[in-house]
Amino acid sequence: MHNALQYLGDGLPNVAHRMPIRNLVVFQAAGWRGLPLDAHAGLIDPTWPRDGGQRGYLRRSAARYRAQMRLIRDLAPTMAVAILVMPDTDARASGYGAYQRARLLPWARWRSPLALFASARAAARRAGLPVAPFLSINNYGGPQRPFSCRARQTLYQLEQLTDWYLTHHLDDATLRCDDGRIVILTEGLPDQTTLDDAHRQRLADFCNRRDDVLWIDNLGLFDPRQVGGHVWRSAAVFDPSGSVQESLRDAWGDRYRWHYVPRFAKSRTQLARAEHHVPLALKRRWLNVGAGSAARYPTVISQWNEYAEYLHLEPSELEGESTYREFQALLAEQG
């Protein structure tokens, strides 16, 4: 994969044009409505973005998206973004979205991640960053349904979101493989998607038919023999020993892509403990740094701004730019 954007939004040449895409950062164009409420009630102890703090956590604007995308661009000239979207039913049930001021109106309104996608994507394009969608499907709205109904809904939602993306969001900012395939990432929690073998095979059949797409899967959790060479795997898992991703790499061979999950914490107390962090050597391995590292580009990076789990590279109130700068230094070692 290479950056196909020749110019930035201001008309200046894009220095990353034709650079290989080595890092694909998961970006949340929205946030969780319950997070500030739980923090206010003392149920959780998150940090907040340095730009806006807790009051600004659920507020989005074109200017804020542009500032975030410039920071991502400045990490390295090998970056692309995967913007998280989910079905509107999931967004309503989970309280995922953001307030964005409507054009020609003096107030902000609550918008879904699907509605916010275009604005975030435009900011990425302006910064010279290619974009892929990160399709998150969890059937949050229907836990009372039988498992078979939820499994059918998983396939239906994947079909709908894929059609939405391929119909409305293809241009020079679209992240593609060098062979022209369009890159789409997927994810879902197994206890929410409830895929049995039969429904997993139907999901695999759909991905196999859509061979115009390069799938990076964490939804179907397929056996690699079920799917063609245009279906890859990347597991978003906190894996401080590295054993989970190593086993998946052994199973998938050169179709596995490392997933960079450097830490996982629900409070500042947990964040201070070593067991909630991945060792530096493993971080470097997942970024394909160092002698003998097999190049498995792009690495999927979790995440730019997931504050519920301290999975953020964005400068925050607690850490300032320290996490951002540490990651930037690691990327410089990629060569």
Domain assignment present for residue 188? The answer is yes
Domain assignment present for residue 209? The answer is yes
Which band of pLDDT confidence, cut at 50, 70 and 90, is reported for residue 291? low
Mean pLDDT over the full length of the chain: 94
- 3-class state of residue 191 by DSSP: helix
What are the pLDDT digits (tens) for 262-282?
A: 999 999 999 999 999 999 999
Sign of CA dihedral 133, 224, 246, 286: negative
Does residue 143 have a pLDDT over 70? no
Does residue 257 have a pLDDT over 70? yes
Does residue 142 have a pLDDT over 60? no
Which band of pLDDT confidence, cut at 50, 70 and 90, is reported for residue 295? confident
Domain assignment present for residue 11? The answer is no
Mean predicted confidence (pLDDT) in 130-149: 80
Domain assignment present for residue 72? The answer is yes
The count of domains in the chain is: 1
Mean predicted confidence (pLDDT) in 288-306: 88
Mean predicted confidence (pLDDT) in 178-189: 97
Does residue 85 have a pLDDT over 70? yes
The pLDDT of residue 335 is: 74
What are the pLDDT digits (tens) for 200-220?
A: 999 999 999 999 999 999 999
Which candidate, 126, 133, 178, 148, places its Cα nearest to that of 28? 133
Sign of CA dihedral 109, 9, 81, 176: positive
Name the least confident of 19-23, 121-125, 240-244, 286-290. 286-290
Domain assignment present for residue 7? The answer is no
CB 313 within 8 A of CB 327: yes
Does residue 120 have a pLDDT over 80? yes
The pLDDT of residue 151 is: 84
The pLDDT of residue 251 is: 98
Residue 160 structure tokens: 């709908």
Which band of pLDDT confidence, cut at 50, 70 and 90, is reported for residue 104? low
The pLDDT of residue 292 is: 66
Does residue 144 have a pLDDT over 70? no
Which band of pLDDT confidence, cut at 50, 70 and 90, is reported for residue 193? confident
Give me the half-sphere count of Cα atoms (radius 13 Å) on the Cβ side of residue 51. Answer: 14
Task: Tell me which residue range forms the domain holding 55.
Answer: 23-332
Alpha carbons 96 and 91: distance in angstroms, whole number = 5
CB 271 within 8 A of CB 310: yes
Mean predicted confidence (pLDDT) in 298-321: 97
Domain assignment present for residue 106? The answer is yes
Domain assignment present for residue 44? The answer is yes
Does residue 41 have a pLDDT over 80? yes
CB 315 within 8 A of CB 251: no
Please state the length of the chain.
335
Mean predicted confidence (pLDDT) in 29-48: 94
Does residue 62 have a pLDDT over 70? yes
- Fill in the amino acid letter for 26: V
Mean predicted confidence (pLDDT) in 228-235: 98
The pLDDT of residue 100 is: 94
Tell me if the bond preceding 298 is cis, omega within 30° of 0. Answer: yes
The pLDDT of residue 191 is: 87
Q: Cα 24 from chain centroid? A: 8
The pLDDT of residue 213 is: 98
CATH code, 308: 3.20.20
Alpha carbons 235 and 6: distance in angstroms, whole number = 32
Domain assignment present for residue 289? The answer is yes
H or E element in which residue 328 lies: helix 322-332
